[in-house]
Structure formats: C-alpha cells, structure tokens
Structure 1
Amino acid sequence: MNTDWQGLLLRREDSIRQAIEVIDRGAKRIALVVDEAGRLQGTVTDGDIRRGILRHLSLEAPVAEVMNPRPRVLPHQYQRDDALRLLGSAQVLQVPIVDDDGVVVGLETLTDLLKRPRLENPVFLMAGGFGTRLRPLTDNCPKPMLPVGGRPLLEHILLDLIDYGFYRFYISVHYLREQVIQHFQDGSRWGVVIQYVHEDEPLGTAGALGLLPKEAVQRPVIVVNGDIMTRVNYEALLQDHDRHTPAATVCTRQYDLQVPYGVIAHDEQRITDITEKPVHHFFVSAGIYVLAPQVVHAIAPRVRLDMPDLLKREIASGREVRMFPVHEYWLDIGRMGDFEIAQRDARQVVGRG
C-alpha cells in the first residue's frame, strides 16, 4: 500500500485545475474526492480529465463534473493477490482502500505492486530541422541542442522518456548533425541505446521514418518532435493507443481563439443574434504521436512526407486516427519568446537544470 496518499484528496467543489495539480504533484495519476468525513465520493484520473477536455469543460469547473462516482475499491484488510487481481481485471492502475464506513485509509497502485518493466517500443526523436525562426541562436546550433535550464532541449525529452521505461531510441539528424551525435553518442551514458537516422536531404516531418529498418519496428512507435518541452504522461498515451489499436494516435492541445468583437448572426440583412466576443475552441497537434508498425512500414524511404499528409492518408484509407488530449505542461519552442519562457520554466515545471 502506498502511504503517501493524503495529498491526493479533493472535495467535489474543487476545480478540475486543482485536480490536475494534485495528480501531477502526487505522481500517482489519481485524485480522491472525499466528503467532510473523509468518505470516498469518487476518483479522478488522467483519463477522466482528458475526456472532460474533449467536452470543452473549463478547467475551473468543479471536479465533480469529471470524477468517476463509482470507482473500484479495496477493503482495508486485503491481500496482495486480491489487489493484483482487481487491478488486472479492472484495467486500472490505482485503487483506493476504504474502511467499513467508506472512509479512505490508503491507496494501492500497480506500479507499487510491480516494478515498472522496460518498454520495447522504439522511440523516434525528430532532430533534423533548421530552426530558422530562432535565428541567430540556431545559426551555429541545431534547435534541439539549444540549452534550456543548463542542458539541451532534446536531452529533457530523452530523460522524460527514459523515466517511463523506454530505452530504444532513434534520432533523425540533418542540420549540424555532428553536434547531436557528439552529445548523445550511443546512449550508454543514460543506460539506453541510441541509433541515428541520417537525412541527406530534408524529408519533412514524417519522411525520415521511412529510413527505419522494418525489423526494428514490430511495436507501435513513439514519435516526438525535438523542439517541445512537456510533461505528458507517455505511459497513459501508450496504454490508450494499445487499448484502442488505431493506425495512429495524435497528442492534441486545446487552443482557444477569442474574437475581439461582437459577432453578428444574420439572415440576409436581418440580424438574428449578436454574440459578444465569442471564444472558439480548437485542438491542435502537440508534436507527439504513436504510429502502428504497419503505418511506419508503408512509408517509402527517401521520399519527402509531412506528418499531416501521412495522417490524412490513413484517414482517407478508412483507418482510425485517434486523438489524445494533453493537459500537462507543454510548450512548443518555435519563436524567441517561447525560448525565453522555456528558460523560466526549466526548473519550476520540468524540474531539471
């Protein structure tokens, strides 16, 4: 049983934003909603929050809007085998422990019961771009190698993935490739295996995947752009992909666009409604993907291909392309202002420096 569960408690009226903070801070991927007496009212997981985001719920909405009001629980006098059986059959990673009155007295997690295994899925890191929007910083340094909080941006990405158990890495390189290769070498410094995919000519945001040896891709491939900072839960991402087995899973980020004027609805010249400064909600790609092996195998080598075109090709063929909303910290370092924000966030949010 995990003994550090008191920090995971919430009330029904607490906000979804507070639930995200509790889940991130507690590192157990769950928050427990209780009443004044400590009786369990529901649970909130990473997946519950993502489904709420898909419904365009505000992060200030009460957590009761997304919680599971009927979670699985363990009695306070349980055996380890009982916990393993419940966690396996329910396909959940955490189970609250309650006493005879329903009061929370603990939390059991699968990661506490079982040591996290190494994940065999290959990870493909895209590091070949020119980073033209960050010139002059990138005149003599590839964008993924720009220092953020004392270490290259790409190293932050690598370390996060290593924390989740990934150890087989491929890095696509082109612009100033020697700097990337010299820094990361074969990966033995971090106890992982790194191989390089050389783009002799720029192949777009997906074309380099066609250079992967087919025998190396027998499991879904994690693809990550080398110019983002994020705390996305890669374990939850891969589990979601494995559960639904689509051709591709695309991490998405909600982007809100507010019209700064009153918007007129009309029937010819007759005004039917006026909406003051409406907000439109969109989902944009977060630069993180999971691709089924057959999708990667079908990419022709040395042919330019961008990721949107690859995904649209799968959609046009009738295969499922699934979205995975990202509520965790995420920053696309595309412009100078973003790079400055990354420096500020490196220690506070990413926790490295």
Structure 2
Amino acid sequence: MTPINRIKLLPTSTIREALRIIDKGAMQIAIVVDENDRLLGTLTDGDIRRGLLNNLNLDDQVESIVFKTPTVARLTDSKEEILQKALTKKLRQMPVVDEENRVIGIRAIEELVRPHRKPNKVILMVGGLGTRLRPLTEETPKPMLKVGNKPILQTIVETFAQYGFTDIVMCVNYKSDVIRNHFGDGSAFGVNIEYLLEEERMGTAGALSLLSPVPDEPFFVMNGDLLTNANFGHLLDYHTDQDATATMCVREYDFQVPYGVVNVEENRILSIVEKPVHKFFVSAGIYMLSPKALERIPKNRFYDMPTLFETLIAEGEKTISFPIREYWLDIGRMEEYERANVEYHEFF
C-alpha cells in the first residue's frame, strides 16, 4: 500500500497544486482530506479538465471539483473484496480508510494481482498435539489434517504467499516429520520455509526466543490450526501505520444468557432483560510483532502470547487490536473440523 503524503491535498489547495501532484505521481490521482486526514474525495486529471471546461482557472480551489463519493477499501476488506470493487468500477487504484474514515494509504490494484515479495517473516506455530481431535491426530499433526482436500497448513501458506509474504518459519514439535516431508524447503509452494524444532513445548510465544537471526522487520505470528482469509497486507499496513509494538487480531464473540437477567439494587428490582446478548472480543490467534517485542521473551522457557501482551501493556508499549470480520475458524474440536470441510469451498 502506497502512503498518501505526496498525493494528498486540502480542499483549499489550488487546481495548479493538484495538477502538479497528479503529473508527478505514478498513481495519477490526488487524495483530498481534511486536517485530520479524513477522506473528503479524490481528484484525477479528468476531474480537473471538466473543471477547466466549466470556466475554473488554475488558481481556484479544488473543493468544487472533488469527486466526493469515491470507492474505498476498508482495512478489513479481503483481497477478493477489493478486486471485486475495482473490477466493478474499472478502477486502477483505491484509497484505503480506517474505521474513522482516515486515509491509511492507497492500494494499486495491479499489486493485488501480482504482489511483490515482502521481507516480513511469517512464524507459524505448528507443534501442537491436537488431543481434542483424536483419533485423527494420532498419526497426523493437527495442522496437516485435510480441509478442502489439502492440509490446513497448506491453505495458510498459500494465503500468505498471495499477499507476497513468502519467508516462512514453522515452529514444529509433534510429528514434525509429516510437516517436513510435505513442505520441504517450500519451493514447490512458491515460498521459502525454515523449521524451528521445539525440544520442549514453549507456548505460543516462547519459541520466538529461538529465532536466529532476529527479524529486523515486523513479523507475523499465527497458530497453525486456523482457517481465515483475512487480509494480511492490511494487517501489516495497520501495524506499521500505528507504530505499534504488538498487534493482536481479534474476533467478535457473542454470548447469549439463556435466561431473563434481573438487575437488582439491594432488594429492589430495577429491570429485567430477557436473554441478553453480551459481545466480547477474543484473540484470533494471529499477531503482528515489531522486533523489539522479542526482548521481553525469556529464553528457553514456556511463555505464551497473552503473557507477552500483558508485559508490553505494563511497560507502556503500544499494543493494539485488529478486528477480523472475514472468514475465521479455529479448528480445535471435531465439530469445528467438520464445519471447516463443509464451508471451505465457499470461502477459499
């Protein structure tokens, strides 16, 4: 995603300034924002030409010729959703905005079709025993169970590769030979794979202390038993734009109380709410960490990701959430495995 610093304008900017930006920029577009970077509209060469035909001059403000209803991508939009919007409107680029309509960057559609390889490592935690899925996992590690006629882990690898993230480290333990034999060095899948053997179980963060060399770019950490079509490119952009130390992907979870809830003060009934629904955010098992987060992980001991986040929060580091609204399923039990096989071809 391209930053907008060089192509953004205020509504009080002149048409002359807009022309200069459009002519110099490879995107051939200008983004018009307010003082808080909230999107007001876009400008192209065509918009300017129409303004000049309506007797505007180069020193007039752009406010009157801004296209105020541009098609935008949200941070949580999947690659497929962005491409569909672009194809429908015949767009070559699209502003990407956050939940408050602030412009985070601009997405070139061509890059989605042919993503560039990116340097950010992907650390996949694939050493679990999968005890709740026995007997399926007695000979096969859980990430290698087939969903949609391919291992869960293969879908994860292929999804990251679609976004240009091809430098992958697999933290292995249980039945690691099954994983190694299937993926090898990753070349058959268009990626490069290294393996990190956990001699003892080290938790969802402990194995990160074994990384060598230490990544010098923000990196992904993901559990190897998840199915999701989340936009990993947007996750990286969001983490970087927010200058965060750690980003946790979260998923909304609804819980309905099966009874009427009585709100009481002392012995007086204030209200009765019938079967209320409570909404929570839960960890989605996908994280983005900056290299300095590794400094908090102790060597050679069990350490999980919630503990890492609690440590970072206590030390005042910036820890943020990234909501996933795309398809997401944690395959931990037999009913979830069966559901994944039913839903796979609808979403992948």
Give the shorter-chain TM-score range. Answer: 0.7 to 0.9
Contact 1:96–1:107 (CA under 8 A) maintained in structure 2:
no
Q: Distance in 1 between matches of 2:169 and 2:296?
A: 18
1:112 positional shift = 3.2
Equivalent-residue separation in structure 1 for 2:265 and 2:298 (angstroms): 50
Change in 2 beyond 3 A, CA 1:210/1:237: same
The separation in 1 between residues aligned to 2:25 and 2:342, in whole angstroms, is 46
Q: CA deviation at 1:266?
A: 1.2
* 1:206 alignment partner in structure 2: 205
1:151-171 superposed Cα distances (whole Å, 9 cap, x missing partner): 110000000000000111100
Q: Which residue of 2 aligns with 1:289?
A: 287
Amino acid in the other structure paired with 1:83: M
Which runs of 5 or more residues in structure 1 are unaligned?
1-27, 29-69
Tell me how far apart the structure 2 counterparts of residues 269 and 91 of structure 1 sit (CA, whole Å): 50
Aligned partners of 2:31 and 2:43 also within 8 Å: no
* Matches of 1:193 and 1:187, distance apart in 2: 5
What residue identity is the alignment partner of 1:320?
K
Contact 1:95 1:108 in 2 (8 A): no
Q: Which moved more, 1:97-106 or 1:238-247?
A: 97-106
Q: Deviations over 1:192-219 (max 9, x none)?
A: 2110110011111111111101x34101
**Alpha-carbon shift at residue 82 of structure 1 (Å):** 6.9
Alpha-carbon shift at residue 81 of structure 1 (Å): 3.1
- Alpha-carbon spacing, 1:88–1:333, altered in 2? closer, same or farther (3 Å): farther
Residue number in structure 2 paired with 1:126: 125
Count of paired positions: 275
Structure 1 residues 91 and 229 mapped into 2: Cα distance closer, same or farther (>3 Å)? farther
Structure 2 CA distance for aligned equivalents of residues 309 and 128 of structure 1: 19
2:264 alignment partner, one of 263, 266, 269: 266
Residue 81 of structure 1 aligns with an amino acid whose one-letter code is G
Name 1:256's counterpart in structure 2: 254
Map 1:230-249 onto structure 2 (within 5 A): 230-249=228-247
Q: Partner residue of 1:173?
A: 172
Letter of the structure 2 residue corresponding to residue 321 of structure 1: T
Check conservation: 2:125, 2:172, Cα contact below 8 A. yes
In 2, are the aligned partners of 1:96 and 1:108 still within 8 Å (CA)? no
Counterpart AA for 2:333:
R
Conserved in 2, the CA contact under 8 Å of 1:262 and 1:277? yes
Q: Which has the larger radius of gyration?
A: 2
Name the structure 2 match of 1:12.
none
Alignment of 1:111 onto 2:108: yes
Cα contact 1:96–1:106 (8 A) shared by 2: no
CA positional deviation for 1:297: 3.8
Q: Secondary structure at the match of 2:25?
A: helix
Structure 2 residue identity aligned to 1:112: I
Give the C-alpha shift of residue 95 in structure 1: 6.0
CA distance in 1, matches of 2:253, 2:125: 23
Deviation (angstroms), 1:248: 0.6
Structure 2 Cα separation of the partners of residues 122 and 185 of structure 1: 17
CA contact (8 A) 1:122 1:217 kept: yes
CA contact (8 A) 1:207 1:301 kept: yes
How large is the Cα RMSD of the aligned pairs?
2.9
2:308 corresponding residue in structure 1: 310
Measured at CA, do residues 124 and 187 of structure 1 come closer, stay the same or move farther in structure 2, by a change above 3 Å?
Answer: same
1:226 aligns with 2:224: yes
Bigger Cα displacement from structure 2, 298-307 vs 112-121 = 112-121
- Within 1, Cα distance between the matches of 2:222 and 2:174? 17
* Contact persistence 2:116–2:164 (CA under 8 A): yes
Q: Aligned partners of 1:307 and 1:282: how far apart in 2?
A: 19
Residue aligned with 2:127, SS: coil
In structure 1, how many angstroms separate the alpha carbons of the residues matched to 2:110 and 2:135?
50
Do the aligned residues in 1 keep the contact of 2:296 with 2:311 (CA within 8 Å)? no
Aligned equivalent of 1:86, options 30, 47, 56: 30
Pairwise CA distance, 1:347: 1.4
Structure 2 unmatched runs, 5+ = 2-10, 12-17, 51-64, 71-88, 94-106
Give the 5 Å matches for 1:1-353.
Answer: 81=25, 83-84=27-28, 86=30, 106-109=90-93, 110-112=107-109, 116-213=115-212, 215-350=213-348
Query: Residues 297 and 149 of structure 1: is their aligned pair in 2 closer, same or farther, counting only changes over 3 Å?
Result: same
CA distance in 2, matches of 1:290, 1:255: 21
Assess if the C-alpha contact under 8 Å between 2:198 and 2:207 holds in 1: yes
Quick one: which amino acid aligns to residue 91 of structure 2? L
Q: Secondary structure at the match of 1:305?
A: coil
Aligned-residue offset at 1:316: 1.1
Q: CA offsets per residue over residues 33-63 of structure 1, 9 Å max, x none? A: xxxxxxxxxxxxxxxxxxxxxxxxxxxxxxx
Shift in CA distance, 164/261, structure 1 to aligned 2, threshold 3 Å:
same
Question: 103-112 or 282-291: which moved more?
Answer: 103-112
TM-aligned CA deviation for residue 271 of structure 1: 0.6
Aligned-pair CA distance for 1:96: 8.6
Percent identity for Structure 1 against Structure 2: 41
| Cα distance in structure 2, aligned partners of 1:193 and 1:278 | 49
TM-score with structure 2 setting the length = 0.72
